[in-house]
Structure 1
Amino acid sequence: MRGSGVTRGGWAAWRHGLVGLGLALLAGGVHADEVPSFAEVKAAYRPSDLPVLDRQGRPLATLRVDERARRLGWVALEDMSPALLSALVHSEDRRFWEHSGVDWSALARSAWRNLFNQRTQGGSTLTMQLAGLLDQELARPRGGRSVGQKLGQMGTAQVIDARWRKADVLEAYLNLVPLRGELVGVNAATQTLFGKHVSGLDAQEAAVLAALVRAPNASAERVATRACELLGSLAGATVATQRGTSASSPVKPPLDLGEQRCRGLPTLTANALARKGVPALGEQLAPHAARLAWRQAQATPTTTPPAALRTTLDADVQRLALSALREQLTALRQREVDDGAVVVLDNTSGAVLAWVGSIGQGAGAPAVDAVQARRQPGSTLKPFVYGLAFERHLLTPASLLHDEPTQLGTGGAGLYLPQNYNKRYQGWVSARVALASSLNIPAVRVGAMLGPEAMFERFNRLGLALSHTAGFHGHALALGTAEVTLADLTNAYRTLANHGRWAPWQLLAPPAARRAPAPYTVMPAAVAWLVADILADNTARALTFGFDSPLVTRGWAAVKTGTSKDMRDNWCIGFTDRYTVGVWVGNANGAPMRHVSGVTGAAPVWRTLVQALHARTPSRAPRSPAGVVTWPLPVAGGEVQPTALLAGTEPRHHLPNAQVKASAHREAFGIRSPVDGSVFALDPDIPPRVQRILLEGAAGEWWLDGKRLGRSTPAGWPWAPWPGHHVLELRDESGQRVLAQVRFEVRGAVVRATARR
């Protein structure tokens, strides 16, 4: 070489000497067993975005679980764009397919240029760069590698080249290389920057990615310039490059782009580098369920993080639920309804088959998981109130309840005046009709006889996890004023479907499934069957809903609707012999809906799902268990109606048909007066003989403060009040079983007696 004092032969000798020196230094410095295999590297790879799968392994969503870097799924070399492979090899390591991990010629040229302060030329091969990606100690620090690190990198590269296939080296490198900001690997880079899969990259996009390898955080102008230069170099590729893309190599040379190679490249680059926070490609069917499943998975001890998260969801059922909810909310948009949620449970296993937290785009609050949001359930709690009363033998489905305006004490906070939804009253109705037709006042009467504490305890046994206390909610508990989640409420109805036995719902598929609490019995199977039988009786609910409503299905189904105060929440929960389906519609911000009830709001979605789930196999009614009897009861009109009752609650006497109506008052249930929690103040200026408290209620024995007063009469029992706190009980004819109980206070008489002294 003229001017340098080094001949061609001298240069070759110097180069071979350098090679020999490098080999000598590398000998014994790197052990082959310290270098991982390609299979080990691929197995240890963990995407930052975790695929969430359904029960059959079908994708449901992609969930970001690592905020430190954005890595998407591993991409095989054959699934990458040939243009990307050509651009990368041409840009970073043109002799990649020829050298043995270290390109000694390139190293020598780099050293020579650096020695004479010529334009710096890197000598690291793709294999050497991969070594730095696999071993943090070999990674390039900001101040550059030390001699020892460089030699270690070269030694590791030679081991990799000896043990790995060339294609594996290229595949691993492209999946591990940092490209821009938090983006690691070509999969994350292409989907974020270009919104497409790696296989779809064209020549310009491939050149931009190859330029980012060299300078990941460079400006858009510099990246575009470098990409344009690379396209020009590719268009006039040398013979050596052609050898690197021969038949033995998967890389194919790109088309000659000529003068058109850089047209639009600056704009493409600027737009790509401006994109931020772009989600991974793919359908996001269940984002809320995915986040919940990940939280549950994190709470479950595991040795290695999962490569994918398997759930119990069914992609087909999930799509069906999402579609049905979107269609219904679109129809309700003019009635000021924006949000909704759906849960579908498998009765036997508790597996969640569908979990729709919102409809996504178009929802009032897409990020809010309405399945887990706490809201007032309205009348959907009534079945459990009646079930507890049946269980305690306080009434039967045939018992008559008075549906008329009433008032109940609230323990010193005033009077509670429940009303029916339609502001109409039916008079005497059976408990069966009262529950099926969702009449409010009879339900409150039943709840008042049970007491808030008993209802509160039963609801929590059903997994509803009510907040506050029973006294805080009072008698309004029977009408669903406490807040619950759709998931827990749907699972409570699943308890009815499972013969009174409660078990938790399950979202994670084994082996990642969380350890569930032990199942337990909440109510007798006979009681659960009796409630379900009423909820499936279309004739009994016709009083409110008519004979043709969205609650009617082809097969057997037990269902209940509910609407909270001021039309803020609308529910429809029901079950078949295989599935329990819960639907909520409303607004995430709590705004009231306009003219939307359970039948017009949530019920159409519920019916669509039930009909679709049983399209091939209709649901069948469950057989009545032990403890249920059928009793012939006379009804108005001279007919006898077979009625299901719990064994031991059969009427003692048959009444002639003509006496059915006349006996309604005696068959009524509970104490009507005084109201629980009432406070009476006696007037000292009024003669005591005319101051009486009228005790009114069903047939039975009156007991006051543990002492018998006598039998109740249709006209009531006038009692001369006495100061203090009192407990009034209505007992059965034997005087042993308490049918109802109220507490009240009398004030004023003591003051007058003191004055007379």
Structure 2
Amino acid sequence: MNQNAIFGDIGDHDKNAVSPEGQGYRQHLKRWSLTVVMLLAFSTNQAHALQKFADVQQEFRSSEASLYDRKGQLLQEIRLNPHERRLSWVALEDVSPALRNALVASEDRRFYQHSGVDWNAVAAAAWGNLWNSRTRGASTITMQLAGLLDDDLRRRTSPRSFSQKLSQVMVAQLLERNWRKDQILEAYLNLVSFRGELVGIHALSRVLFGKHPSGLSQREAAIAVALIRGPNATPARVTERACRILQEQHASQECKDLESFALLALARTGSNSEVIVTTTAPQLAPHLARRLLRTPGQSLRSTLDAGVQRFATDALQRQLAALTDRNIQDGAIIAIDNASGDVLAWVGSSATFSRAADVDGVLALRQAGSTLKPFLYELAIEKRWMTAASLLNDAAINLPTASGLYIPQNYDKQFKGLVSVRTALGSSLNIPAVRTLVTVTPTAFFERLQQLGFQLRESGDYYGYSLALGSADISLLALTNAYRALANQGRYSGIRTALSDPPVKMSKAMDAGATFIIGNILSDRSARSRTFGLENALSTRVWTAVKTGTSKDMRDNWAVGYSDRYTVGVWVGNASGLPMWDVSGVTGAAPIWQEVMQYLHSRDQLRQHIPQKPDGVIEQAIRYEDKAEAPRQEYFLAGTEQAVIRTAKSDDIGIAIRYPTPGMLVALDPDIPPEHQRIRFEAGGISSGSWRLDGRLLKPVAQTKAGKKTSQPISAQNQQLALDWMPWPGRHVLELLDEKQTVLDQVRFEVRGAVEKEMPPKPDRRSRK
């Protein structure tokens, strides 16, 4: 006799499966089967340790991991199990009654009467197999659950063996004795496989019907139960089975248009029954979720605030929608609580606007632009090399580097002349920043940036003077957290993204007085007015200090700033690296920064405070001797204060050779005739004098506004002395002399040609005849 003659597998049923003639045989079969089971129970080693219901429930793992905000609101679900799609465990009372009724009516009519094995169904299955007739099958819900709980009993590609069948019956009876009926039904609904990779009623309901199991209708319940019998059946076959279930429940009217309804639901699975609809859960923080969630079923409460996260996401998308004609696709935002280091918003991309939505813009490395300048000036003030009142020369400068001359320019291609550090930083002037880095040195500045968590990949010498203008690649996270150190009076710590993380520990990274002065400059509307005007997106209703930045060719656009409570950083650009079109920090990232900062404070019930100057900071009234800037109140570190700022104390205004620079290497172009190539000698701070090259005096030549040479004594604008010299290969020493032939300055430089030609030898008069 075939093993399925005793315990048939699930199949189509027939109400008249067992005829009256088979009743005697069925009773005999029942007694014989019970005897076999009892013998096996005592003579074989098939007994299995029975799990408790609570253990099964606790060990259940969703294929998804869930990220919640700090108040317990769901932010994001991501799938971590690629083999099965499970969602969270669903209690039986949260399952639609329509589904429970359809399941019992279709799969196990006597579920509430039998003790694990429906012997009437066993007899019917055996009789049907004898006469080759189709019957419902003898596996009860409890027996099927036994197969789901034990890997040894789980049916895979081939039918279960006879011993597995008997073990399944034994486990089913143990379940019935130790579990309640509602627990058996609840576990079954959460563990049974449906279509393809879908496991459990929760996953099926969400994917096929887009709702929680509690909301399944009678028609949806019939389709779900039909899929238990044939998980990968065709839509027509599923419809046929579902309609039969509805008819048994006296709901034939639900069969109308059932096939089209089933076809639509099943279309949410792709070919080979792979799920193509992922989740209906909120999708507010995908990038942080991928960073924090590691194991299936994990549930983590983050430091994020759902309200801030949602508002920041919307603000980013609104701004990018308004700039669609400026070739901008991507952006990122991070908001951090100053005191705790808790991240309140982590928006990694612009989602639908982006072609690279999976790239996390909070962590991606991009060029910093002008956003590093506050840390440069802070270091110069901290070391007492400069004050906020010190004058810097915003004029053309050429700096020799290993790769050639470095010639920085301002954003507007104009020069402002003598400006204070306050104006230079507030208006984000480039040349004064480079001059400051010459004083600070790239190595010292690099070391300070490393202390602030930037983790730059190269050395200070590698970046050179361009580090002042943000040539290094940084992340929005590192940049924003470094600004948070400015907000915390120079105290630095890491950030916190999960409430389970330990509290952050602060350490001193910058001088409190210097950071206060930098914050005062970054909050000064007047200081930034020369570049940005008085009214712009950097102005807020509460006290804030903010800095913008734009990298080369407008590839990256930044706005980072802080209040007394929060620090917010924004980046916009293109993940592909493509340049934006005519977008600056004020027009690109700053409007988003302003919206997020003001939203944070609109929710804040605490009174906002303007930072108070710390001990060691002196407020002093100042005036400039040459009226370079208007008189004002200024802040100084104690011991550096001045009432009158004299021009003589500013940098780069003494008499000096400006060009060529010390150690400069000049290469001649072999394709240009030598007589058409010239090197221009320039000196500043002098109106008349002379040049001496390699010990030979050169005749000074003046340069008029029209660009024509004259033989008049030189008196160029801004006291510059100039001379055009036809270069000759070799190493040279250039000296600047005053009217008394006193050497005022000296530089050494080298000229190289494609092929260096030697001077023609002088004729030997002694050999002449």
For the aligned pair, the TM-score class normalised by the smaller chain equals 0.7 to 0.9
Q: State the one-letter code of the partner of 1:134.
A: L
Report whether the alignment pairs 1:215 with 2:198.
no
Corresponding residue for 2:479?
A: 489
Task: Trace 1:291-690 onto structure 2 (pairs within 5 A).
Answer: 291-294=290-293, 297=294, 307-411=298-402, 413-510=403-500, 519-615=506-602, 616-635=605-624, 636=627, 641-651=632-642, 655=644, 663-668=646-651, 673=657, 675=661, 677-679=663-665, 688-690=695-697
Per-residue deviation, residues 350-397 of structure 1 (Å, max 9, x unmatched): 111101112322334322221122111211111011112112222111
Q: State the one-letter code of the partner of 2:259.
A: P
Q: Verify the 8 A CA contact 1:358 1:368 in the aligned structure 2.
A: yes
Task: Trace 1:21-420 onto structure 2 (pairs within 5 A).
Answer: 21-23=36-38, 25-26=40-41, 34-235=49-250, 256-257=251-252, 260-276=253-269, 277-294=276-293, 297=294, 307-411=298-402, 413-420=403-410
Q: State the one-letter code of the partner of 2:430.
A: N
Instruction: Tell me how far 1:195 sits from its aligned partner.
Output: 2.5
Q: Distance in 2 between matches of 1:501 and 1:180?
A: 56
Q: Distance in 2 between matches of 1:345 and 1:685?
A: 60
Distance 1:666-1:176 versus aligned 2 partners, 3 A rule: same
Q: Verify the 8 A CA contact 2:222 2:242 in the aligned structure 1.
A: yes
Tell me the TM-score normalised to structure 1 length.
0.82
Distance 1:648-1:441 versus aligned 2 partners, 3 A rule: same
Q: State the one-letter code of the partner of 2:423.
A: V
Q: Distance in 1 between matches of 2:280 and 2:336?
A: 29
In structure 1, the residue corresponding to 2:146 is in which secondary structure?
helix
Instruction: Tell me how far 1:458 sits from its aligned partner.
Output: 2.1
Distance 1:27-1:419 versus aligned 2 partners, 3 A rule: same
In structure 2, the residue corresponding to 1:562 is in which secondary structure?
strand
Q: Distance in 2 between matches of 1:624 and 1:687?
A: 56
Corresponding residue for 2:727?
A: none
Q: Distance in 2 between matches of 1:638 and 1:13?
A: 112
Q: State which drifts further: 637-646 or 92-101.
A: 637-646
Q: Distance in 2 between matches of 1:78 and 1:318?
A: 34
Distance 1:384-1:261 versus aligned 2 partners, 3 A rule: same
Q: Distance in 1 between matches of 2:192 and 2:695?
A: 96
Q: Distance in 2 between matches of 1:498 and 1:556?
A: 15
Distance 1:745-1:123 versus aligned 2 partners, 3 A rule: same
Tell me the TM-score normalised to structure 2 length.
0.80
Q: Distance in 1 between matches of 2:567 and 2:19?
A: 87
Instruction: Tell me how far 1:402 sits from its aligned partner.
Output: 0.7
Q: State which drifts further: 358-367 or 14-23.
A: 14-23
In structure 2, the residue corresponding to 1:690 is in which secondary structure?
strand
Q: State which drifts further: 531-540 or 568-577.
A: 531-540
Q: State the one-letter code of the partner of 2:315.
A: A
Q: Verify the 8 A CA contact 1:336 1:593 in the aligned structure 2.
A: yes
Q: Verify the 8 A CA contact 1:29 1:152 in the aligned structure 2.
A: no
Instruction: Tell me how far 1:521 sits from its aligned partner.
Output: 2.8
Q: State the one-letter code of the partner of 1:423.
A: K
Distance 1:116-1:306 versus aligned 2 partners, 3 A rule: closer
Instruction: Tell me how far 1:11 sits from its aligned partner.
Output: 4.1
Q: Verify the 8 A CA contact 2:418 2:628 in the aligned structure 1.
A: no
Per-residue deviation, residues 592-638 of structure 1 (Å, max 9, x unmatched): 22222111111111111111211233531222223322233224499
Corresponding residue for 1:697?
A: none
Distance 1:10-1:686 versus aligned 2 partners, 3 A rule: closer
Instruction: Tell me how far 1:72 sits from its aligned partner.
Output: 0.9
Per-residue deviation, residues 176-201 of structure 1 (Å, max 9, x unmatched): 10111111111111222222322232
Corresponding residue for 1:711?
A: none
Q: State the one-letter code of the partner of 1:273.
A: L
In structure 2, the residue corresponding to 1:572 is in which secondary structure?
strand
In structure 2, the residue corresponding to 1:375 is in which secondary structure?
strand
Q: Distance in 1 between matches of 2:159 and 2:318?
A: 60
Instruction: Tell me how far 1:17 sits from its aligned partner.
Output: 4.5
* RMSD after superposition: 3.6
In structure 1, the residue corresponding to 2:160 is in which secondary structure?
coil
Q: Verify the 8 A CA contact 2:26 2:127 in the aligned structure 1.
A: no
Corresponding residue for 1:710?
A: none
Q: Distance in 1 between matches of 2:35 and 2:152?
A: 25
Q: Distance in 2 between matches of 1:493 and 1:638?
A: 28
Q: State the one-letter code of the partner of 2:63.
A: S
Instruction: Tell me how far 1:337 sits from its aligned partner.
Output: 2.0
Instruction: Tell me how far 1:125 sits from its aligned partner.
Output: 0.7
Distance 1:146-1:427 versus aligned 2 partners, 3 A rule: same
Q: Distance in 2 between matches of 1:175 and 1:4?
A: 36
Per-residue deviation, residues 432-464 of structure 1 (Å, max 9, x unmatched): 111011111101111122222222222222212
Corresponding residue for 2:741?
A: none
In structure 2, the residue corresponding to 1:18 is in which secondary structure?
helix
Q: Distance in 1 between matches of 2:586 and 2:629?
A: 34
Q: State the one-letter code of the partner of 1:434.
A: A
Q: Verify the 8 A CA contact 1:341 1:371 in the aligned structure 2.
A: yes
Q: Distance in 2 between matches of 1:680 and 1:156?
A: 90
Q: Distance in 2 between matches of 1:98 and 1:69?
A: 33
Q: Distance in 1 between matches of 2:537 and 2:692?
A: 61
Instruction: Tell me how far 1:531 sits from its aligned partner.
Output: 1.4
Q: Distance in 2 between matches of 1:626 and 1:527?
A: 11
Q: Distance in 2 between matches of 1:463 and 1:638?
A: 36
Q: Distance in 2 between matches of 1:228 and 1:547?
A: 72
Q: Distance in 2 between matches of 1:404 and 1:202?
A: 77
Q: Verify the 8 A CA contact 2:693 2:732 in the aligned structure 1.
A: no
Q: State the one-letter code of the partner of 1:400.
A: L
Instruction: Tell me how far 1:679 sits from its aligned partner.
Output: 4.3
In structure 2, the residue corresponding to 1:584 is in which secondary structure?
strand
Q: Distance in 2 between matches of 1:685 and 1:403?
A: 29
Instruction: Tell me how far 1:680 sits from its aligned partner.
Output: 8.1
Q: Distance in 1 between matches of 2:76 and 2:44?
A: 46
Per-residue deviation, residues 628-680 of structure 1 (Å, max 9, x unmatched): 222332244998533211223234xx54xxxx5xx314433698745465348
How many residue pairs end up in the alignment? 676
Q: Verify the 8 A CA contact 2:62 2:297 in the aligned structure 1.
A: no
Instruction: Tell me how far 1:692 sits from its aligned partner.
Output: 12
Q: Distance in 1 between matches of 2:48 and 2:68?
A: 36
The answer for unaligned runs of 5 or more in structure 2 is 1-15, 270-275, 668-678, 682-690, 701-718, 722-729, 736-745, 763-769
Instruction: Tell me how far 1:10 sits from its aligned partner.
Output: 5.9
Q: State which drifts further: 626-635 or 442-451.
A: 626-635
In structure 2, the residue corresponding to 1:367 is in which secondary structure?
coil
Q: Distance in 2 between matches of 1:374 and 1:55?
A: 28
Corresponding residue for 1:250?
A: none
Q: Distance in 1 between matches of 2:84 and 2:732?
A: 69
Q: Distance in 1 between matches of 2:490 and 2:333?
A: 23
Q: Distance in 2 between matches of 1:637 and 1:745?
A: 35
